[in-house]
Amino acid sequence: MNSTLRLIPLGGLGEVGKNMLLFEHGRDILIVDAGIMFPEHNMWGIDVVIPDFGYLRERAGDVRAIVITHGHEDHIGALPYLLRDVVALDTPIYATRLACGLIEARLAETPNRGRANLRRIAPGEGFRAGPFEAEFLAITHSIPDGVGLCITTDLGRIIHTGDFKFDYTPVRGGGPGFTRLGQLGAQGVLALLSDSTGAERAGYTPSEQVIAPALDAIFREAPGRVIVATFASLLSRVQQVFNAAQAHGRVVALAGYSMLKTVEIGRNLGHLDAPKGLLVDLGEAQRLPRERVALVTTGSQGQPEAALARMADGTHRQIEIVPGDTIVLSSTPIPGNEEDVARVINRLFARGANVIYPPLASVHVSGHASQEEQKLMLALTRPRFFVPIHGELRHLHAHARLARQLGVAQENIFLLENGQVLELTAEGGRVVERLPSGTVFVDGAGVGDVGPVVMHEREVLAHDGFVIAVVPVSLATGEVSGKPELVSRGFVYLPESGDLLERAAERAWQAVRSLGSKKQPAIIERTQDALRRFFYEETRRKPMVVAIVTLV
C-alpha cells in the first residue's frame, strides 16, 4: 500500500484559466480538467495558451482517467491537444452530459481524430480508476451540469470543488448538494481544493435569477433591436434572453459559430427551452422590424475575431449597428481583457447604439463563490488540509486568509504555484519539488513552436517595426560593392523619410566598406549593428533590423 498522494497543478494557480490538476498515487495518475487560457494583450498572434504537458509525456501510460468538472473552455479546451500529443485516445474521460456534448463538439474540430472514450455520469454517481474512487458532487456554477469531486484513496478523501457558487435558485438544473457535502465533512475530509476566483468579494454571489428583472426592463424599453453578448457556454443566460424575448414578442437569432453550436447542444440535451417559432436564422431576423428582433452573440470579452467586435468595427457581413440598437454585455471582463472590452463599447457608442453593461445595470452575476460561500464550503467539509485553487495569486492568498479565520491551521494551508508538487501523507503535507509547468502557445496549427524568443521579436515588430537591408556583394571578390538598399515597414512613413533612410544606407556602407573580412556573417553583423545605432541616435527607436546579402 502506497501511503503518499501527490497533487500536481499544471495550470490554474496564479492565473485565471488553463485549469489542470494531477492526482498521483504510486504510479497511477488521475487528471482533473484540461483547459486553455486566452492570450494576454502582449501575446502577439497567439490563439490560445495551454498547460505544459512535459511531465505527462513521460508518464502517459500511467494515466488512468481524465475527469472534467464542467464544460467551460478553461476546463476542456486543452483536451484536443492532450489527446492528440500525449494521452492515449482511449483513456476514459468522465464528465456530465453537457460537458460531454461540448467536448465532442470541440474534438470534432480537430483534424484526423478518432472517437474519444467519453463516459457520461451524473452528480451522485461515481467510478473507479486504478486506486482512485471518484464521486461527482452536485454544485452550481454559471453553466449547467457542473460538478465537484470527492476523490478517495487509501489515504483519505479529497474534495475538489471545481468552479462553484451556492445558487439556491438556478435558472436550469438542481441546486447545490449541501447534504452530501455535510456528510463527507462528518466522515472526514483529508483536503479541500476550493475555487478562489471570488475570494476578494465579500458576502454572497447573487443567484442567476436576479438578472431576469433587468433583462425584462431592457426588452420592454428598447426601441429597436436588443443584442445580448455573453459567453456561448452560459446557457442559463441564453435561456433568460429567450424568456425575455418571448415575453415581449420578439424572435431570437444567434450570431457567432460557438454560440450556434453550443445552443444546438444545449437544446438537444434539454438544457434550453425555445418555444416553436422563437428561434429564427439571422437572415430572417434581418427582414423583420427591428423592434421585434433580439440577437444573442459571442464577443462579450472584446475578442477582435468575435461577432460583437466585428459589429462594432462595421465589418460583420450581416449585422450593421444603427442608432436605436440596444447592446447588452452580459459579462464582466476576464482580467487582461478590460482594454479590449472598453474599446468595443466605445465603438458601439460611436455607431449610435445604447450600450448597457455592469455596473450600469444588473445584467451579469459571477459564477464563482464569494467569501461567505467559501466559508460555508470550508465549514461543511471541515478539511484537515486546505489548498486554494483557480485564481490569481491575490485570490489564492485571500482564500487562505478565510481558511485561517475558520480554524484551519496555518501549517495545513498550502499556497501552491503551477508545477509545485504537494505530497500528502498520514503524517502531514509538504511541497517537495517543482516540475516544468510553463505556458505553451498555440498559434494556428503550431503548438509549442512559438517560444519566448519569437514572442520578443513579435513585441519588437509591434512596437517599432522593421528595416531590411539588402547588401550587394561582388560574386567575384566577395566584397561589398555598394550601399545597401533599405526596406522599412512599421518604422517610418517612407514618402516622408527618404532622407533618413538614405543617410542610414550611407552609414551602413561606411561601416562595411572598410571591413577586412569577406565572410557574409561578418558583413551581416556589421550592417545590422551600424543601422541599429544610427536609428536609435536619430529617432530613439529600436526597429528590428535584418540584413541579407545578395550576390551581384
Catalytic residue of the set 52, 74, 145, 195:
195
**Omega of the bond leading into 359 within 30 degrees of 0 (cis):** yes
Residue 433 is placed in which grid cell? 519539488
DSSP character at residue 528 = H
Beta carbons of 77 and 107 less than 8 angstroms apart: no
**Sequence-separated (6 or more) residues with CB below 8 Å from residue 13:** 389, 390, 391, 396, 416, 417, 418
β-pairing, 429-434 with 251-255? unpaired
- All three cell numbers of 202, joined, read 465579500
Distance of CA 99 to the CA centre of its chain: 16
Q: How far apart are CA 231 and CA 486, in angstroms?
A: 47
Instruction: Kindly tell me the burial class for residue 280, based on how many C-beta atoms sit within 10 Å of its own C-beta (0-12, 13-18, 19 or more).
Output: middle
DSSP label of 545: E
Task: For residue 8, list its beta bridge partners.
Answer: 22
- Give the pairing type, strands 118-120 and 93-95: parallel
Q: Which residues pair with 548 in a beta bridge?
A: 470
Nearest one of 5, 3, 1, 2 to 432, comparing CA atoms: 5
Paired with 424 in beta bridges are 5, 429
Residue 158, burial from CB neighbour count under 10 angstroms (0-12, 13-18, 19+): buried
In the annotation, is 368 catalytic? yes
CA distances from 64 to 18, 59, 130, 158, 334 (A): 21, 11, 6, 17, 33
Residue 198, C-beta contacts closer than 8 angstroms, at least 6 positions apart: 165, 205, 366, 368, 369, 370, 371, 373, 374, 395
Catalytic residue among 368, 390, 395, 399: 368
Report the run of H or E that residue 241 belongs to, with start and end.
helix 235-247
Q: How many helices (H) and strands (E) does the chain have?
A: 16, 25
The verdict on whether 195 is a catalytic residue reads yes
Q: Report the alpha-carbon distance of residue 378 to residue 386 in Å, rounded.
A: 9
Residue ranges of the alpha helices (H) in 330-470?
338-350, 371-381, 393-405, 452-464
SS3 243: helix
**Residues labelled catalytic:** 195, 368
